[in-house]
Amino acid sequence: MPILGIDVVPGGGFAYVVLENNVVVERGVTDVRNLVNLFKKYRCEVLAVDSVSELFQHGRLLIKALGRLPYVVNVVEVTRGMELKSTEDLVREYFGVEKGRLDPLETAFYLAMLAQRGVGTPVKLFEEETVILIHRRISTTPGGMSRNRYMRNVTHRIKALMAKIEARLKEAKLDYDLFVKEESGEVSSAKFVVYANREVVRRYVKPMRSIDVAVSIFSLPAKRGEEAHTLRYLIIGVDPGVVTGLAILTLDGEVLDTVARRSFSRGDLVRYVQQWGVPVLVATDVGEAPEYVKRLAAMVGAALYTPGRDLSTEEKAQIVERTGWRVKTTHERDALAAAYRAYLEYKPKFERIEKEFGAILKPEQMAYAKALVIRGYSIAQAVSEALKRKERGETRVVYITVEKPCSSEDEKLSSLVKALQYENQQLQREVEELRRENAALRRAMEDEKWKDVKYREMQMRIEQLLRTLGEKEAEINSLKKTFVEVLMDRERYRVVHKTELSECRGGEYAGTICKNFESLDEAVARKSLGVPLKEVVKLDLGEFYVVDMDKVAELVAEIKRRLDERKGVDLKKIVEEYRRGLV
């Protein structure tokens, strides 16, 4: 586990040493920005310092940056133990090294070494609260005529993210407050204050940044409010909203303070109230308590008071006037009216306890008895419990514990286990989605291959058709030339209908066109002066044929010549045979 030890360098900057397994991985002097990069580079989970006050004084930017890391850094104040000791004394005690004054780099090294040995006290650097801020990243001021459209688009994006994150938090059963900021009727930002560790929250909600909207997740530095000077029980009135009003009263009806703040989270409110005492009753001025007030009462373990109906403005003004307290805002007025109305509700029981048992109860016991009455005890039960405390010799009042999510190690581990289980489920879903996407891509790839084969087939078909088309075009051009030739020499060519063709058997007159003769030899063999159609046709027009009459005459002459040759040969043969017979 890497440990980062740091010490402030005079004149600004920090000396640092990164230690892992007793080995110095890196050391040097740098600024805050590079220190943050070291946490990201080595994932240092422990920051060792010699003074937290010094860290808050010189390292505000570092603390802010640590609050935005995806994991929690444990800060150890090495010099604080059972008693406060200097770094030089600790080095002498644990390492036997005598040093009058350590330089910053030496201090950083020994702080890391001591922290690795478990020396020092863990410091609460952040509250157990995480802020999820949804905000716009673009300015709509120079938008001109399009400004309203820009604002609507940003509002839509923020609302969509807000609904998605809220659903995730509810699914994880994490306690939270939600504050929405509006400008000109449009939502400009939304802030969730989640009452859980940042590392847990980031397992359910991830940071995001787009062109127009961003989601940031961070922890705010721990606020060190003043402790209560006296142990006393309080009634608080709350008026929740974008601006939350708060009023603090004692159980005697004395107004201690009123305040109104924007985006006042329950954690901040509780820390503010704790400087006055412990709240045992949370009051509101409406008949149906808002969710914020219900959660606040459960968070501090206090009873919840609501009037039978919503208080009117006139009633609240009269109640506030009765207290004699000057309020600055309507939010403070509403909160004070709620708290004082709750006090008036319990006042008769308080007066009865004071009247009947004031002589036997000490002030601390009296306050404890009143607190028990608020929590639902009868007067007799409350006084009995207060007297038992006296019998046991208990003289001081114990705080009612403030219930905070993840307040103990067991709760932290339980929350972390739940978060890990949820993250595991999310990752399983992502794996299934990736598997489906992979299968879809494989199918798409096969389809592309098939399409590629079909494409090649189509290309070959196109090339074949183009060749055929070329041949047909050449044939058409040839026919065009023939047709022109026919038109130019009408005496040579004659159009013949298919009915004018003959089925030749032999002995036909010269110039007969025979449709059944395949060759000139067949005409000669049958002793016909008819000519084969295929030898003399120039154009085949379906039912009509264009016949080359010069070719017909030429073929007829050829047939006659061949027939004459055949006749001459036969006479000679007959004469020879005759002569041999005579002999």
Predicted confidence band of residue 456 (pLDDT cuts 50, 70, 90): confident
Question: Does residue 224 sit within a domain?
Answer: no
Question: Does residue 546 sit within a domain?
Answer: yes
Residue 330 Cα distances to 233, 247, 282, 333, 337, angstroms: 25, 12, 18, 5, 10
What CATH number corresponds to the domain at position 102? 3.30.420.10
How much is the average pLDDT of 339-364?
A: 91
What is the three-class DSSP state of 533? helix
- As a whole number of angstroms, the distance between CA 323 and CA 141 comes to 46
Q: Kindly state whether residues 384 and 429 are assigned to the same domain.
A: no
Name the strand (E) or helix (H) holding 350: helix 330-357
Q: Kindly state whether residues 508 and 460 are assigned to the same domain.
A: no
Give the tens place of pLDDT for each residue, 16-63.
999 988 888 899 998 888 888 888 888 888 999 988 888 887 878 888
Q: Kindly state whether residues 286 and 358 are assigned to the same domain.
A: yes
Q: Which of 308, 319, 317 is nearest to 286 (CA)?
A: 308
pLDDT number for residue 142:
56
Q: Kindly state whether residues 237 and 376 are assigned to the same domain.
A: yes
What is the three-class DSSP state of 197? coil
pLDDT number for residue 402:
36
Bridge partner residues of 233 (DSSP): 278
Question: Does residue 65 sit within a domain?
Answer: yes
Q: Kindly state whether residues 291 and 346 are assigned to the same domain.
A: yes
Q: Kindly state whether residues 384 and 294 are assigned to the same domain.
A: yes
Q: Kindly state whether residues 321 and 203 are assigned to the same domain.
A: no
Last residue of a domain, one of 157, 190, 218: 218
Q: Which domain holds residue 510?
A: 493-582
Question: Does residue 401 sit within a domain?
Answer: no
- As a whole number of angstroms, the distance between CA 212 and CA 154 comes to 7
Q: Which of 507, 477, 489, 499 is nearest to 548 (CA)?
A: 489
Give the tens place of pLDDT for each residue, 231-252.
789 999 999 988 999 999 999 9
Q: Kindly state whether residues 153 and 198 are assigned to the same domain.
A: yes
How much is the average pLDDT of 388-416?
A: 50
Q: For the whole model, what pTM was predicted? A: 0.61
Determine contact, residues 342/235, Cβ cutoff 8 Å. yes
Most confident of 208-222, 318-332, 393-407, 476-490: 318-332
Q: Kindly state whether residues 141 and 161 are assigned to the same domain.
A: yes
Structure tokens at 182: 């509006």
The larger pLDDT score, comparing residue 396 to residue 262, is at 262
Name the strand (E) or helix (H) holding 575: helix 549-582
What CATH number corresponds to the domain at position 268? 3.30.420
Determine contact, residues 446/453, Cβ cutoff 8 Å. no
pLDDT number for residue 283:
95
Write out the DSSP string of 15-81.
EEEEEETTEEEEEEEE-HHHHHHHHHHH---EEEES-HHHHHHH-HHHHHHHTTSSSPPEEEETTBS
Question: Does residue 97 sit within a domain?
Answer: yes
- As a whole number of angstroms, the distance between CA 92 and CA 111 comes to 13
The larger pLDDT score, comparing residue 209 to residue 450, is at 209
Give the tens place of pLDDT for each residue, 262-303.
989 998 899 899 889 999 999 999 999 999 999 999 988 999
In this predicted structure, the answer to whether residue 342 has a pLDDT above a threshold of 90 is yes
Would you give the DSSP letter of residue 218?
Answer: E
Question: Does residue 402 sit within a domain?
Answer: no
The radius of gyration computed from the CA coordinates of the chain, to the nearest angstrom, equals 53
* Structural domains counted in the chain: 5
What CATH number corresponds to the domain at position 191? 3.30.70
Q: Kindly state whether residues 197 and 114 are assigned to the same domain.
A: no
Last residue of a domain, one of 361, 391, 421: 391
Q: Kindly state whether residues 508 and 570 are assigned to the same domain.
A: yes
Q: Kindly state whether residues 479 and 504 are assigned to the same domain.
A: no
Question: Does residue 397 sit within a domain?
Answer: no
Last residue of a domain, one of 339, 359, 391: 391
- As a whole number of angstroms, the distance between CA 516 and CA 534 comes to 10
